[in-house]
Structure 1
């Protein structure tokens, strides 16, 4: 009995998870550099995060914990982008901003499928590989200072989680991959808003960038 228990514990220790991101959204590593401009738009970023607990057949539930994590992701991307003069997540402070970016991240999973996968994995000591899939959909609306809708955007991707023996070295991807997927969606959003010409930039009056100055 003790030997069987030892084998079971060994399998559990060797088992792990591997998260693989989907490729439905182009990878945007960096955004165009706008750091040389002195006059940039001010924006209010309005965030929401909803979860469909039983697939799309259930009503979405606001996920406060995931929203806080998503807010940190958006903050990091926004800070590194240098696209805006200032930004805020506060609705009161955002009332006088040049633009409003409404972002709603939706996470669709399937609890029943995840439970079945977990049962198969557990009963076979993770010998039979199983996979579960989480879908992420980012919808965004861009508004001007008067509240008029300028554009809407939608990005959809997924994370597939494999559970199998000998995947323990990849256990660290559990937290890393979903964040990277959402981060790339936000970069795609900012890049598309920029390419569509909704972000206006200008140099200070009577000031030219160095590359336009006569030597």
Structure 2
């Protein structure tokens, strides 16, 4: 796999194209099956996307990226089978819903320049050889007042090679790389959340046979 990635990078540089490759710091995880539970928590997820260092009050909100990723987040949460009802809209939140806050921070190594390849890094007038986008994701469990009860986080990164023309290597577009990294990071945080909150699930009660 590493050889194929290296070969792909060489081709991109040679052809003057553009391609993105995930660093796979967060592995794919298998979420536990909750099919045997009749009662699952309903959840409201407050989701936001920032450009800047994690936790920095000066990090800038990027609503374009948040809105692009919202449908993917809704799909991941729904298909996980971990929840009864899922909403990302605060106006649809109902009493008793679990409240989670998911934040994504797009940042760069010290001294680096952001590519932010997902929506704005592919300008034809800039020709960096290689740039790296770091993605730190945090998931907080909130109480009824919106105060954090627990928090977990993870980190991944994407390398983007760019040349003069926008000629993505097949299957390695910036959008595909961000989608893959985003899904792996969300699923890893969900798995951790379930392991800490299994008491929120109740099993299907078997029928009592008649005498």
1:183 maps to: 183
Q: Tell me, what secondary structure is at the counterpart of 1:38?
A: strand
By how many angstroms is 1:149 displaced? Answer: 3.3
- Computing the radius of gyration from Cα coordinates, the structure with the larger value is 1
1:72 maps to: 71
Pair 57,171 (structure 1): closer, same or farther in 2 beyond 3 Å = farther
Q: Is residue 138 from structure 1 mapped to residue 137 from structure 2 by the alignment?
A: yes
1:63 maps to: 62
After superposition, the C-alpha distances for 1:132-176 in whole angstroms (9 at most, x for unaligned) are 0111111111124465533101111110112369x9561542210
Q: Is the 8 A contact 1:56 1:108 kept in 2?
A: no
Structure 2 unaligned regions, length at least 5: 1-11, 116-120
- Give the TM-score normalised by the residue count of structure 2: 0.73
Q: Is the 8 A contact 2:127 2:163 kept in 1?
A: no
Pair 61,33 (structure 1): closer, same or farther in 2 beyond 3 Å = same
1:125 maps to: none
By how many angstroms is 1:102 displaced? Answer: 0.2
- Give the TM-score normalised by the residue count of structure 1: 0.72
Task: Give me the CA root mean square deviation.
Answer: 3.6
Structure 1 unaligned regions, length at least 5: 1-10, 122-129
Aligned residues: 187
Whole-Å Cα distance in 2 between the matches of residues 92 and 68 of structure 1? 17
Pair 157,98 (structure 1): closer, same or farther in 2 beyond 3 Å = same
2:100 maps to: 101
After superposition, the C-alpha distances for 1:106-149 in whole angstroms (9 at most, x for unaligned) are 1114547889xx7566xxxxxxxx21011111111112446553
1:200 maps to: 200
- Kindly indicate which of the two structures has a greater share of residues assigned to helix: 1
